[in-house]
Chains A and B, each alone.
Chain A
Amino acid sequence: MEIDKVIHEPARLRIMMILQGVEEADFNFLLNTLGLTRGNLSRHMDKLESAGYIKIKKSFNGKLPYTSYQIMKKGLGALEQYWQNLDQVRKGSDLPAE
């Protein structure tokens, strides 16, 4: 059993959990909620997109560029698997040592 390293990083795990709850979230919302720098957030989002866990949508709101993110089925599956694995690790660590 292996813990997904892409999701296990604290910021990315929180991003995935936020996106799991909604249809889509924009860059400003994630920036404001997580308290990351713009550059850091962009890098995390790129890593999650490269893993196929999220979809990045770029558009314009009037004249301003607008970026929003959506979690993909693969991402939902990976997140579910991550928690299952982590819960198993937790159960294992709760067992008394022989």
Chain B
Amino acid sequence: MKNKPAEISPGQEADKLKEIPKWTRQYAQNQEALPALAVMAIISCMFAGILIPAHFAQAAYRAGNLALYRILMIVMIAAAASLTYFSLSGRMKKLIKRISNHHNNQEGNISISSPEAIKKKQRVEKVSVALLALCILCTLGFLGTLIPFKYFQPVSAIYLVPFFTFMYFWFRPRYSSTMLFFPMLYAAHAILIIMEVIPDKLVWFNMLSGMGYAFLTYAIGYLYNRHVLKKLKNLTHLEGEPADGD
């Protein structure tokens, strides 16, 4: 026997239903968090593949173990080459698409902005990314000379924080406000370095903080996305739907 379909009763039920568009938008804004999180995890592993051998190669060189030093250098170069190939060959894009497709097959896909609106905004995005790349190249070029290693993070914060804040507002409402965690955390880290709260010894930690904060931001975005989906299903899930759709 089929259950009687739920009637839209006046009062609380109607008020709850009016919240559906708000939660749907929030789900859409965090939909890209999982593919981004997967890519961040892969890039982090590749960076670890460069930095860990580099660290031990340095120790092996100091200890005079040249055989081990050479092996570790080969591992490091292979990891750096694979990171470059992965980033430039379009494999990264393909991987993001595969993860997104898998996710979409399971949960479906919604978009908050029209493709035309995104296309218009992408021109400004391309110029901003080019400027950002120029800033990064300049910073790396002057690193160790004009820019001491310990100030790499605060100097990069000067352009990274405005860039990510601008991108969030430029593409609004495409991305969730959880995306603002990254510039906030990165700026806070820079301030702590300038105030000398974070010790000079943690140079690598400071230089890689961006990756850690990006990972954290996407992780928060993904967890929030799960919460929103649960909320949305509670509001929309129907039990005992009549078979003829009426």
Measuring CB to CB, which residues of chain A are less than 8 angstroms from any residue of chain B?
8-11, 13-14, 17-18, 20-37, 39-40, 43-44, 47, 61-62, 68, 83, 86-87, 89-90, 93
28 contacts between A and B (CB under 8 A): A8-B8, A9-B5, A9-B245, A10-B6, A11-B245, A14-B20, A22-B112, A23-B110, A23-B112, A23-B114, A24-B110, A25-B24, A26-B109, A28-B106, A28-B107, A28-B109, A29-B108, A29-B109, A32-B106, A33-B233, A34-B238, A36-B238, A36-B241, A39-B243, A43-B245, A44-B245, A83-B18, A90-B10
A-B contact count (CB 8 A): 116
Q: List which B98-118 residues lie within 8 A (CB) of chain A.
A: 101, 104-114
By a CB distance below 8 angstroms, the chain B residues around A32 are 106-108
Measuring CB to CB, which residues of chain B are less than 8 angstroms from any residue of chain A?
5-8, 10-11, 14, 17-18, 20-25, 28, 101, 104-114, 229, 232-233, 235-239, 241, 243-246
By a CB distance below 8 angstroms, the chain B residues around A21 are 20-25, 28
By a CB distance below 8 angstroms, the chain A residues around B5 are 9-10
Known: A33-B237, A90-B11. A43 touches B110 (CB 8 A): no
Whether A23 and B113, one on each chain, are in contact in the complex, defined by CB atoms closer than 8 angstroms, is: yes
A31 to B7, CA, bound (A): 20
A interface secondary structure, majority: helix
Whether A40 and B24, one on each chain, are in contact in the complex, defined by CB atoms closer than 8 angstroms, is: no
Whether A29 and B107, one on each chain, are in contact in the complex, defined by CB atoms closer than 8 angstroms, is: yes
Known: A18-B236, A33-B236. A86 touches B14 (CB 8 A): yes
A28 to B23, CA, bound (A): 17
Whether A43 and B244, one on each chain, are in contact in the complex, defined by CB atoms closer than 8 angstroms, is: yes
Known: A10-B5, A29-B107, A93-B10. A35 touches B21 (CB 8 A): no
Closest to B26 in A: A21
A34 to B11, CA, bound (A): 21
Closest to B11 in A: A90
